[in-house]
Amino acid sequence: MSILIRDSLVDGAPQDVYVEDERIAEIGRRQEADVVIDGRDMACLPGLVNGHTHAAMTLLRSYADDMNLQDWLEQRIWPQEAKFRPEDIYWGTKLACLEMIRSGTTTFNDMYFFMEEAARAVADMGLRAVLSYGIIDRFDERKAETELKATEGFLRFVRNLRNPRILAAVGPHNMDTVSEGTLGSAKSLAVEEGVKVHFHLAETEREVEASRERYGKGPVRALDEMGFLGDWLVAAHCVWLSDRDARILGERGASAIHNPTSNMKLSVGRAFPYPSLRSAGVTMGLGTDGAASNDNLDLFEEIKQACLLQKFDTNDARVLPAGEAWNMATEGGADALGLPAGRLQEGKLADLILVDLTHPQLVPRHDLTSLLAYAANGSMVDTVICDGRILMREGHVEGEAEIIEGARARAEALRER
Amino acid sequence: MSILIRDSLVDGAPQDVYVEDERIAEIGRRQEADVVIDGRDMACLPGLVNGHTHAAMTLLRSYADDMNLQDWLEQRIWPQEAKFRPEDIYWGTKLACLEMIRSGTTTFNDMYFFMEEAARAVADMGLRAVLSYGIIDRFDERKAETELKATEGFLRFVRNLRNPRILAAVGPHNMDTVSEGTLGSAKSLAVEEGVKVHFHLAETEREVEASRERYGKGPVRALDEMGFLGDWLVAAHCVWLSDRDARILGERGASAIHNPTSNMKLSVGRAFPYPSLRSAGVTMGLGTDGAASNDNLDLFEEIKQACLLQKFDTNDARVLPAGEAWNMATEGGADALGLPAGRLQEGKLADLILVDLTHPQLVPRHDLTSLLAYAANGSMVDTVICDGRILMREGHVEGEAEIIEGARARAEALRER
């Protein structure tokens, strides 16, 4: 199957983008294809990569807001999550996929539970995802054993799916909820299986203090001594880091995923140290985190937020310019996940989007990258292609109404449970 | 002319909203009207009020980004503005109006130049606006005289328009660019004419320092001694304020307009002191500022940004909850401008919007206010009514393509000039 996008804007000039099967085969001039898309007045861009999500949390969107992190978790989120059933994860993830497609995301890196159901939703919806079961042992050896078993089972499950769009990762939750032994086993398992480790790192000050008490040093140095840091690590948040921590992450080849909206909404007390991580050469991506702390999965918003937060935090408007944030949301995220995607280049995966440049918010166009970072939102995405298949045309995704109804019904049932 | 919106969600329950001429005549059950709108699966809300804009700056959208404020102004913005012609203001304002209608704004408070052209654009587009000519005398008496004359001329022009949607205000720019004498004359003129004063207050630290040098005290206390503060004052930014300054503004009945995105993008170095202004009982609204420092005019984004910035700045996620930010963008802004709008109540001006609740980002709906603040964006607005006239239905605004083409052409001509 081949797709030809004609005359869309590629790096500032109208070009044709030719997709064959799951790859970008040619950028230039082409005559024919199975499907031809008129790309005039559109920007052709790599699909966005959401580097950190808990997709099925869409079911808890607008359920608990304006609360501090620990109260929010303990009083509102965890009690609801305890009531989740597998079917909820399927519909919640499906809603998240729908929303991500509509706003131009083609890949996401997800950590949650009942992940077989998340995989089923991703398979149905056509996106690309890296999925991990969130390991929490609360320093209990028996729990550790069942959690690692669950992870091994999920890795097997994904392997057997043989779906090129679905990859597994190992997901130890964070240092507060996972013991040193389990962190080590999780990492070894990931390295053996050749998959990534999806982890929450240094999100809160409390986590740093707990690490100091438990290990006598901050999270990054403690994890480094455990041999937990390496190019397998995709670390979400990375807020409470020193310059030295950033350098260690850089030396070990770990990736950092910034979640500015969630960090601000939950008042984690500091901003992602972008300048230090950049100097340290750390691969950086962007994530929305779960919808309950955002409350949408629109990466266009996240790009803008990342730029604004850095400018505010460093008091220097030159920090994190539009182009760098755009790169985080595309090639940075793809590199973190080890995917040949996030770039509009021949040979890369055909994960592409078209943005409608006739929207009044995108006029005039002195600088396309600035427009995309500061003026656009996900609702301006017209067409989405993932793995060489069209998932959205002219803002229309197949089966949308059924997904919305299904997710609504599950959210209602959850509240009444 | 009457309009009936049937079965839309009003304060959580499906109701009919009946509009007669320019007012909301009834909320409840109604049978007939000249125009009937099916409001099912829609939230009916007051139109948003953009409390601080420079509308025609849409022409400079994406022209200069990721620069510090003073460089941005001196190297990029001012040189372009010097080349603006009246026709540019007409098209730039028209594009801004189109964008505001599309994203649910029905009223804006604008300060710029060639304001007769801005008024013409507002008259054509059907929104409500408070317009002021931006007075800058740079401490030159002759300039002061011509600027005040220009303002008087514009007040007369607006009076003669007899357009109930268009009000004039007096617009001394800020303390850095306007002398004490002119500030006094501007205020007196506004009080005589019964109009508002639109002003930039304490946006930057530099402004506070300049005030200390010039007047021996900070801006608020200096202005208070001049008799400049009163319920006529609509003060944009209000970033660099002490608790005492906030109390003074509260006692004088002045209003403060928060512009979180612009403040972050231009790195003004502090956040709007929402908790102090709230304690002081100051009327507060929200603004986008000009598109060159935002880079869109979507107030839904601004509501979210205000909430997030306060949570980040105060390190307390309970500060500025969704409902309070929503009120700033509606009744707060309307109160600041002295308009009987911003509320869905019988007798208020019929400035209304319908938001499409079937968008996947607005599902499920545990709390509508949270959804509107955190999950929505302006692209989810379906219908806009201003002054009892329908400006948008199903996302469609009349003449959109012509406005986009016109604005594009002006922006291009401007660059080549």
pLDDT tens digits for A342-393?
A: 999 999 999 999 999 999 999 999 999 999 999 999 999 999 999 999 999 9
pLDDT mean for each 10 residues of chain A (417 residues): 96 94 92 94 98 98 96 95 97 98 98 98 98 98 98 98 98 97 98 98 97 98 98 98 98 98 97 98 98 97 98 98 98 98 98 98 97 98 98 97 98 94
Q: Give the one of B269, B295, B298 whose C-beta lies nearest to A315's C-beta.
A: B269
pLDDT of residue A12: 85
pLDDT of residue B31: 78
Say if the Cβ atoms of B377 and A375 lie within 8 Å: no
The shortest C-alpha distance from A251 to chain B (Å) reads 29
* Partners of residue B301 in chain A, C-beta under 8 Å: 301, 304, 377
Say if the Cβ atoms of B261 and A312 lie within 8 Å: no
Residue B300 DSSP code: H
The string of pLDDT tens digits covering residues B93-138 is 999 999 999 999 999 999 999 999 999 999 999 999 999 999 999 9
Say if the Cβ atoms of A295 and B375 lie within 8 Å: yes
pLDDT of residue A319: 98
Averaged pLDDT of chain B: 97
Please give the class, per CATH, of domain B48-337.
alpha beta
Q: Which two tokens stand for residue A182?
A: 């389990």
Say if the Cβ atoms of A264 and B311 lie within 8 Å: yes
Contact call for residues A109 and A51 (beta carbons, < 8 A): yes
**Residue of chain B nearest A268, judged by CA positions:** B315
Please give the class, per CATH, of domain A2-46+349-400.
mainly beta
Say if the Cβ atoms of B62 and A370 lie within 8 Å: yes
Chosen for mutation from A61, A73, A262 (greatest number of chain B CBs closer than 10 Å) is A61
Question: Is pTM beyond 0.95 here?
Answer: yes
Say if strands A2-10 and A35-38 run parallel, antiparallel, or are unpaired. Answer: parallel
Say if the Cβ atoms of A361 and B62 lie within 8 Å: no
- Burial class of residue A115 (count of CB atoms within 10 Å of its CB; 0-12, 13-18, 19+): buried
Say if the Cβ atoms of B375 and A318 lie within 8 Å: no
The string of pLDDT tens digits covering residues B9-48 is 998 899 999 999 999 999 988 779 999 999 999 999 999 9
* Partners of residue B60 in chain A, C-beta under 8 Å: 366
Peptide bond before residue B260 is cis, with ω within 30 degrees of 0: no
* Partners of residue B296 in chain A, C-beta under 8 Å: 361, 374-377
pLDDT of residue A30: 77
* Partners of residue B298 in chain A, C-beta under 8 Å: 361, 377
Q: What SS3 class is residue A257?
A: strand
pLDDT of residue B154: 98
Q: Cα dist. B264→A302, B60, B111, B236 in Å?
A: 14, 18, 21, 14
Q: Give the one of A102, A308, A315 whose C-beta lies nearest to B261's C-beta.
A: A308
**Residue of chain A nearest B412, judged by CA positions:** A364
A351: Cα within 13 Å, side-chain hemisphere: 27
The shortest C-alpha distance from B403 to chain A (Å) reads 9
Chosen for mutation from A65, A80, A304, A394 (greatest number of chain B CBs closer than 10 Å) is A65
Q: Cα dist. B184→A183, B144, B228, B235, B417 in Å?
A: 68, 11, 7, 15, 37
The shortest C-alpha distance from B157 to chain A (Å) reads 29
The shortest C-alpha distance from B49 to chain A (Å) reads 18
Q: Which residue in A407, A282, A371, A291 sits closest to A45, CA to CA?
A: A371
**Residue of chain A nearest B63, judged by CA positions:** A366
Residue with tokens 């240092």, as numbered in its chain: A175
**Residue of chain A nearest B408, judged by CA positions:** A364
The string of pLDDT tens digits covering residues A243-301 is 999 999 999 999 999 999 999 999 999 999 999 999 999 999 999 999 999 999 999 99
pLDDT of residue A31: 78
Q: Cα dist. B117→B108, B329, B411 in Å?
A: 15, 26, 16
The shortest C-alpha distance from B32 to chain A (Å) reads 31
Element (H, E) at B190: helix B180-193
Say if the Cβ atoms of A363 and B296 lie within 8 Å: no
pLDDT of residue A313: 97
* Partners of residue A368 in chain B, C-beta under 8 Å: 62
Say if the Cβ atoms of A69 and B317 lie within 8 Å: yes
Residue A361 DSSP code: G
B64: Cα within 13 Å, side-chain hemisphere: 22
Size of the A and B interface in Cβ pairs below 8 Å: 218
Say if the Cβ atoms of B370 and A412 lie within 8 Å: no
Say if the Cβ atoms of A99 and B295 lie within 8 Å: no
Say if the Cβ atoms of A407 and B308 lie within 8 Å: no
Pick the CATH number of B2-46+350-400 from 2.40.30.10, 1.10.645.10, 2.30.40.10, 1.10.3210.10: 2.30.40.10
Averaged pLDDT of chain A: 97
Q: Give the one of A60, A98, A316 whose C-beta lies nearest to B68's C-beta.
A: A316
Residue ranges of the domains in chain A? 2-46+349-400, 48-337
Any bridge partners for residue A38, and if so which? A6
**Residue of chain B nearest A311, judged by CA positions:** B267
Chosen for mutation from B68, B295, B365 (greatest number of chain A CBs closer than 10 Å) is B295
Q: Give the one of A66, A264, A411 whose C-beta lies nearest to B364's C-beta.
A: A411
Q: Which two tokens stand for residue A40?
A: 């005039």
Once rounded to an integer, what is the mean pLDDT over residues B143-156?
A: 98
Instruction: Put residue B386 in one of left, alpha, beta given phi > 0 → left and psi -120 to 50 → alpha.
Output: beta
Say if the Cβ atoms of B295 and A371 lie within 8 Å: yes
Task: Find all residues with CB under 8 Å of B166, minimum gap 6, and list them.
Answer: B119, B122, B123, B128, B129, B131, B158
Q: Give the one of A67, A317, A407 whose C-beta lies nearest to B364's C-beta.
A: A407
Contact call for residues B83 and B119 (beta carbons, < 8 A): no
Q: Give the one of A269, A370, A404 whose C-beta lies nearest to B363's C-beta.
A: A404
Say if the Cβ atoms of B102 and A307 lie within 8 Å: no
* Partners of residue B69 in chain A, C-beta under 8 Å: 317
Supply the DSSP string of A142-209, one letter for each residue.
HHHHHHHHHHHHHHHHHHHHT-TTEEEEEEE--TTTS-HHHHHHHHHHHHHHT-EEEEEES-SHHHHH
Task: Find all residues with CB under 8 Å of A398, minimum gap 6, and list them.
Answer: none
The string of pLDDT tens digits covering residues B224-261 is 999 999 999 999 999 999 999 999 999 999 999 999 99
Element (H, E) at B359: none
Say if the Cβ atoms of A415 and B316 lie within 8 Å: no
* Partners of residue B417 in chain A, C-beta under 8 Å: none
Residue with tokens 């630290």, as numbered in its chain: B205
Rounded to two decimals, the ipTM of the complex is 0.97
Contact call for residues B14 and B7 (beta carbons, < 8 A): yes
